[in-house]
Structure 1
Amino acid sequence: MGPGGNVVVLPVVAGRVVRDPALTTFEAMLDGWRSQQLARGLAFSTISAREQVVRRFQGYCNEWPWVWTMVLADEWFTDLRVHRRVAHSTLRSVQGALRQFCWYVTDPTYGWAAECEARFGTHPVQVVTEANAVAHVQANESRPTKRAFTHAELQDFLDHADEQVLRAQTLGRKGWLAAYRDAVVFKIAYSYGLRRNEVRMLDVTDFGANPHGPGFGAFGVAYVRHGKAMRGAPPKRRSVLTVWDWTSEVLAEWIHEIRPAYRPGPRDRALFPSERGERIGLSGLNRTFARYRRELGLSDGLDMHSLRRSYVTHLIESGFDALFVQQQVGHEHASTTSLYTCVSSDFRTRTLTRALTKTLDQLPSTLEER
């Protein structure tokens, strides 16, 4: 019997029941924690990711939760930082998942401490505290090298992507279709300031007309259905208005002329299909982006998310209202949008020049009044 009088179900491995009380208890803990998180309305993906963290820690230290210590946790966190070289934000996320699990198994309400004491003579404790947890002290935790494309770099990158299509066609390679798709993915990610998964999850039906922008035709608005969610919440939706005049041409050509070469079925709606599945994968996009960047000799500080940073930056430089830009990219706070803005020195110079000119123009009249 488990806490609360519930029967602890013995796990099944390779078709046989495992009668290891320690493993049984550990699996029952995870089951109970999963139910608690489901009751809180957390997303299935969040719950699954947290469970994997707990299993990884258990595998690393080869100890059960009722004998975990802060020393064991410190050793794992050190290994993640020194040998795995995980990002600051990743380490904090790992620590958060482990802390949540420890909160659950040490909460008297769920009875696991008493159960473990009765079974194993010891009980679980909290192994992640303020003493050994990463502090969240700044809004932007990306590496300092991460930045937006300059206009020239972006043009070179997109031109290079287009050249891969022509090269494959000239050599008679089958890869021209995938190269064409990847080039369009990068253009659309920039066109709407989309995150990687947001552009990957677009369907052909996720576009509509904008009555205030008839020149864009059927592609005046992009309906993003898989936006970045708040922790534990479902994906956020938003509508992004088309702003660049070439975007609708790129989409129309891709959807009506090129995408049919993948021979999608009547129910296949993915805007960017894959040769092996319904839609393109994130790892493939990352590899292609990195290869193009390497071939052009561009900075490692440019990644696929830089297309989103560039969108924000270029809109600001083009004179778009900051609130409009914030709504386009789906940021809750203007301060978040400002972190994405990497305006060029030329833009800063032009802005300063306009401000000084305006001041100087007003100066004579001010002196006359005096």
Structure 2
Amino acid sequence: MDADANSALQSFLQSLQVEKRASQHTVSSYRRDLLRLQAFCDDQQLTQWGDLQANDIRQHVAARHRHGIGSRTLQRELSSMRSFFNYLLKKKLASQNPAKHIQAPKQSRTLPKTLDVDQVSGLLDTPADSMLEIRDLAIFELFYSSGLRLSELAALNLSDLSLTNKTLRVQHGKGGKQRDLPIGDKAIHAIEKWRRHRPESADPALFLSKRGTRLGQRSIQLRLERWCRKIGLPEHVHPHMLRHSFASHLLEASQDIRAVQELLGHSNLSTTQIYTHLDFQHLAEIYDQAHPRARKKVR
């Protein structure tokens, strides 16, 4: 594509960061999605964004799908394209939004994997053997206590917590939204223990690396994998699994889906409703095990 098209893309990404106050993670995702679309345009010898037609977008999405890209990812990529073309329309750099009516291929909705309560207890109750493990256990407790996303936990600063009030503030959740969350007593105890060992640093981050800098998302993932190997947990556990477990266990105990929606920071209730399927799955297992005629063989 020509220089003007590239300039329009860079201006859009800058507006996301400055005007929309999108997170760095969101801006990076948009950049990747739109650079892929730009590469497609180069292959098709399209030089201007305004040259793209709905059939071109459909062709691009279909090619991505044939390469094994899932429906959820394609939906996000289409969302990036729609936002970009809305920006171009506003700037009079395009006459239509070719992605507006394009839908991603449908795929069956898979239920998120969760840990049961005993597995969570085993993960969190094993004593730490080092300062870094004290930090790690505070991280894992906070994931399960407050249902945080990985990006939200990594972005936490010391000033975002009020241990006296047993609350924390997510400053920039998904969509740039802010929300306040409770912190459980176990997590508070683990955080207080970590703060006594936390090295002095000018970095305001709650969780620091051993170099005294903010702990990155990938490092948190790797520390959780390492901890699970150490304690012999057979499941492949990732941070989002602790968030899923938080939601599933809370919904199972409270049956209050609206409260779980608020705690998770979901914009739409339909996103939270997947946990009702998990809850039903749990009830069905109990039924099969306990009902006197549930597994009775018919002769």
Q: TM-score range by the shorter chain?
A: 0.7 to 0.9
Distance of 2:262 and 2:51 partners within structure 1: 48
Cα distance change on mapping 1:319 and 1:133 into 2, 3 Å: closer
Query: After superposition, what is the alpha-carbon deviation per residue over 1:270-295, rounded to whole angstroms, capped at 9, x for unaligned?
Result: 11112356211111222333455575
Give ranges in structure 1 of 5+ residues lacking alignment.
1-21, 114-123, 167-175, 210-217, 354-370
Q: In structure 1, what is the equivalent of residue 234 of structure 2?
A: 297
Cα distance change on mapping 1:224 and 1:348 into 2, 3 Å: farther
Task: Please report how far the alpha carbon of residue 133 of structure 1 lies from its aligned counterpart in structure 2 after TM superposition.
Answer: 2.5
Task: Please report how far the alpha carbon of residue 152 of structure 1 lies from its aligned counterpart in structure 2 after TM superposition.
Answer: 1.8
Cα distance change on mapping 1:76 and 1:253 into 2, 3 Å: same
Task: Please report how far the alpha carbon of residue 94 of structure 1 lies from its aligned counterpart in structure 2 after TM superposition.
Answer: 1.0
TM-score scaled to structure 1, two decimals?
0.61
SS of alignment partner, residue 224 of structure 1 = strand
Q: In structure 1, what is the equivalent of residue 174 of structure 2?
A: 229
Distance of 1:333 and 1:53 partners within structure 2: 24
Give ranges in structure 2 of 5+ residues lacking alignment.
292-299
SS of alignment partner, residue 182 of structure 1 = helix
Q: In structure 2, what is the equivalent of residue 128 of structure 1?
A: 99
SS of alignment partner, residue 77 of structure 2 = helix
Q: In structure 2, what is the equivalent of residue 43 of structure 1?
A: 21
Distance of 1:206 and 1:223 partners within structure 2: 6
Conserved in 2, the CA contact under 8 Å of 1:317 and 1:347?
Answer: no
| Aligned residue among 33, 36, 39 for 1:53 | 33
Distance of 1:36 and 1:186 partners within structure 2: 35
Q: In structure 1, what is the equivalent of residue 247 of structure 2?
A: 312
Query: After superposition, what is the alpha-carbon deviation per residue over 1:33-53, rounded to whole angstroms, capped at 9, x for unaligned?
Result: 4577689x4224455643443
| Aligned residue among 168, 176, 193 for 1:253 | 193
Q: In structure 1, what is the equivalent of residue 4 of structure 2?
A: 25
TM-score scaled to structure 2, two decimals?
0.73
For 1:351-366, list aligned pairs within 5 A: none
Cα distance change on mapping 1:334 and 1:98 into 2, 3 Å: closer
Q: In structure 2, what is the equivalent of residue 153 of structure 1?
A: 119
Q: In structure 2, what is the equivalent of residue 241 of structure 1?
A: 182
Conserved in 1, the CA contact under 8 Å of 2:154 and 2:215?
Answer: yes
Q: Does 1:182 align with 2:149?
A: no
Distance of 2:16 and 2:172 partners within structure 1: 22
Cα distance change on mapping 1:152 and 1:37 into 2, 3 Å: closer
How many residue pairs get aligned? The number is: 278
Task: Please report how far the alpha carbon of residue 264 of structure 1 lies from its aligned counterpart in structure 2 after TM superposition.
Answer: 2.3
Aligned-residue Cα RMSD (Å) equals 3.7
Q: Does 1:82 align with 2:99?
A: no
Cα distance change on mapping 1:274 and 1:81 into 2, 3 Å: farther
Cα distance change on mapping 1:274 and 1:51 into 2, 3 Å: same
Rg bigger for which structure? Answer: 1
| Aligned residue among 269, 283, 286 for 1:345 | 283
Task: Please report how far the alpha carbon of residue 336 of structure 1 lies from its aligned counterpart in structure 2 after TM superposition.
Answer: 4.3
Cα distance change on mapping 1:92 and 1:146 into 2, 3 Å: same
Cα distance change on mapping 1:276 and 1:53 into 2, 3 Å: farther
Conserved in 2, the CA contact under 8 Å of 1:188 and 1:247?
Answer: yes
Amino acid at match of 1:54: L
Distance of 2:63 and 2:226 partners within structure 1: 29
Task: Please report how far the alpha carbon of residue 249 of structure 1 lies from its aligned counterpart in structure 2 after TM superposition.
Answer: 1.9
Distance of 2:59 and 2:52 partners within structure 1: 12
Amino acid at match of 1:314: H
Cα distance change on mapping 1:153 and 1:205 into 2, 3 Å: same
Cα distance change on mapping 1:309 and 1:59 into 2, 3 Å: same
